[in-house]
Structure formats: structure tokens, C-alpha cells
Amino acid sequence: MKRRDLVREIRVLADDANLEFGMVRQGAKHELWMLGTRRLVIPRHREINEYTARGIIKEAKDVCANG
């Protein structure tokens, strides 16, 4: 999955749950994003492994469901 598609999907989840979603900082290999009060670590690769992407989306859905 492309990183931009992953970020777009999480942004849609955040908008639907009325949670803030924004980048906190960039590292050499990862970016730190905040979804509400929860940190999400997203790799800075153009292509993200499908299993990794699905895990990040699952975590984002859990955060959005629990507020």
C-alpha cells in the first residue's frame, strides 16, 4: 500500500470520528502522527508492507471506535 493512501484512509477515519489527525514529527525512517490522543508510527517508505499497513489501520479504527 502506498503511504499516501494509508494516510488518506486514516484521515477519513479521523474525520468520521471527529478526531484530530496530524503529523507531530518526522524521523529518518518513520513519521509520528497523532490521532486524537494516540500516537501512530507510520514508516516513511513509499510502499508500506500490506500487513504493516493493515495493522496501522486496525489500530486507527480502534482509536476511532473508542474515542
- Could you tell me the pLDDT band of residue 61, with boundaries at 50, 70 and 90? very high
Provide CB contacts within 8 A for 5, sequence distance 6+.
none
- Where exactly are the structural domains of the chain? 3-66
**pLDDT value of residue 14:** 96
Residues 10-30, mean pLDDT to the nearest whole number: 96
Given CA atoms 45, 46, 52, 53 in this order, what sign does their dihedral have?
A: positive
Domain 3-66 is of which CATH architecture? 2-Layer Sandwich (3.30)
> Among candidates 65, 55, 54, 50, which has minimal Cα distance to 19?
65
pLDDT value for 67: 72
Predicted TM-score (pTM) of this structure: 0.92
> Average pLDDT, whole number, for the chain?
96
Residue 30: pLDDT band by 50, 70, 90 thresholds?
A: very high
